[in-house]
């Protein structure tokens, strides 16, 4: 997959034939706000940080929002429509929402999925806009024996099909890059180059990649150079310590300060959402990660 390029996708498509075209918060002493949230920690603002909901399922969403405000987060990531109204109560955003735009194993890399994906986006994206959700998530799908060029070609066709829905509503649809080595065996969008090839052909400022730093460290490393070379195609970031997807600390191999500075150098204005599973007190670990990435 690392050698896939635009020429291969287009040549492969031609070869395929005309038919295929058819619970505890920090004791910072912050004064509580009227709604029970706390005064935010003043962050530098170079990296707008969020947190993925699923990593903190034992904490009520309202409590996670209150803690997030105190820590200095700007939002909560990966919420369904039934939760989109919660973060704004605390001055936060849902920084990435689910809109039923496929699943990890079944999404845009198969033509037969495109009609249902379009229908879901047509229905749910306007609702996300009304709720103030700036980004929504999708996936490539698994290979299941499909060649990478064919899946790339299909994904390009599918994303072009929904392009006007996304652009007209002013949201960003992010296709997530995931590792197929440890967590998501057979997932197709498992290298940056595959995703960039697709995004270059789709050609939309509103359809980009979700660059998960944890996943891409496992698959390819060389993150700072890769991010900087391809930043125009990246619309969102996730974090997670390697190995294990745990705390961002000195047990991990990623230089988080260096990566964050590399992101800042690109002029990136989007969100970086923490998506690690804490092994210690969850909110203490989250605060430490936010402190570390506040470059």
pLDDT digits (tens, 9 = 90+) for 236-267: 999 999 999 999 999 999 999 999 999 999 99
Q: What is the CA radius of gyration of the chain?
A: 19
pLDDT for 24 beyond 60 = no
pLDDT at 125: 98
For domain 46-293, the CATH superfamily is Divalent-metal-dependent TIM barrel enzymes (3.20.20.150)
Q: What is the mean pLDDT of residues 33-44?
A: 67
Q: What is the mean pLDDT of residues 62-88?
A: 98
Average pLDDT of every residue of the chain: 90
40 — pLDDT class (breaks 50, 70, 90): confident
Q: Enumerate the β-bridge partners of residue 142.
A: 187
94: left (phi over 0), alpha (psi -120 to 50) or beta: beta
The rounded percent of the chain whose pLDDT value lies above 70 is: 87
pLDDT for 28 beyond 90 = no
The 10s digit of each residue's pLDDT in 138-166 is: 999 999 999 999 999 999 999 999 999 99
pLDDT for 15 beyond 80 = no
The 10s digit of each residue's pLDDT in 196-232 is: 999 999 999 999 999 999 999 999 999 999 999 999 9
pLDDT at 288: 97
Q: What is the mean pLDDT of residues 270-279?
A: 98
pLDDT at 38: 55
Residue 67, CA distances (Å) to 146, 200, 223, 284 in order: 44, 39, 30, 10
pLDDT for 67 beyond 50 = yes
The rounded percent of the chain whose pLDDT value lies above 90 is: 86
User: Of 148, 130, 132, which is closest to residue 140 (Cα–Cα)?
Assistant: 148
pLDDT at 124: 98
- 122 burial class (0-12, 13-18, 19+ CB within 10 angstroms)? middle
Report pTM.
Answer: 0.88
Q: What is the mean pLDDT of residues 37-52?
A: 87
Residues 69 and 28: beta-carbon distance below 8 Å: no
Q: Which residues of 196-207 are buried (b: 16+ CB within 10 A; e: fewer)?
A: bbbbebbebebb
pLDDT at 267: 97
pLDDT for 17 beyond 50 = no
pLDDT at 4: 59
Q: In angstroms, rounded to a whole number, what is the distance separating the alpha carbons of residues 265 and 24? A: 34
pLDDT at 31: 37
DSSP string, the chain: -TT--HHHHHHHHHHH-GGGT--------PPBPTTS-BPPP---SSSEEEEEGGGGTTS-HHHHHHHHHHHT--EEEEE-GGGTTSGGGGT-EEEEE--S---SSSSTTSGGGHHHHHHHHHHHHHHHHHTT--EEEE---B-TT--HHHHHHHHHHHHHHHHHHHHHHT-EEEEEE--TTTTSTTBS--SHHHHHHHHHHH--TTEEEEEEHHHHHHHT--HHHHHHHHGGGEEEEEE--TTTS--SSTTSS--HHHHHHHHHHTT--SEEEE----SS-HHHHHHHHHHHH--
pLDDT for 281 beyond 60 = yes
């Amino acid at each position: 997959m690392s050698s896939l390029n635009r020429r291969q996708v287009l040549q492969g498509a031609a070869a395929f034939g005309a038919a295929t075209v058819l619970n505890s918060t920090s004791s910072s002493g912050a004064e509580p706000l009227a709604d029970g949230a706390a005064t935010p920690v003043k962050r530098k603002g170079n990296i707008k940080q969020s947190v993925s909901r699923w990593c903190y399922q034992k904490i009520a969403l309202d409590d996670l929002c209150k803690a997030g405000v105190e820590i200095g987060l700007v939002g909560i990531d990966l919420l369904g429509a039934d939760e989109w109204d919660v973060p704004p109560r605390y001055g936060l955003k849902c920084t990435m929402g689910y809109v039923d735009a496929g699943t990890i194993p079944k999404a845009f890399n198969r033509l037969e999925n495109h009609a249902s994906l379009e229908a879901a986006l047509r229905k749910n994206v306007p609702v996300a806009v009304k709720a103030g959700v700036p980004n929504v998530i999708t996936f490539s799908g698994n290979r299941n024996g499909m060649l990478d060029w064919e899946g790339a070609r299909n994904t390009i066709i599918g994303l072009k099909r929904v392009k006007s829905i996304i652009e007209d509503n002013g949201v960003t649809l992010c296709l997530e890059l995931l590792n197929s080595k440890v967590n998501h065996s057979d997932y197709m969008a498992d290298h940056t180059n595959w995703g960039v090839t697709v995004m270059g052909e789709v050609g939309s400022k509103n359809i980009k990649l979700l660059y998960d730093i944890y996943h891409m460290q496992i698959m390819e490393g060389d993150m700072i150079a890769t991010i900087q070379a391809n930043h125009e195609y990246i619309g969102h970031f996730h974090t997670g310590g390697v190995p294990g997807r745990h705390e961002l600390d000195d047990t991990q191999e990623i230089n988080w300060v260096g990566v964050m500075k590399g992101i800042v150098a690109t002029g990136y204005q989007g969100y970086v959402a923490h998506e690690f599973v804490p092994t210690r007190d969850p909110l203490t670990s989250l605060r430490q990660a936010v402190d570390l990435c506040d470059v």
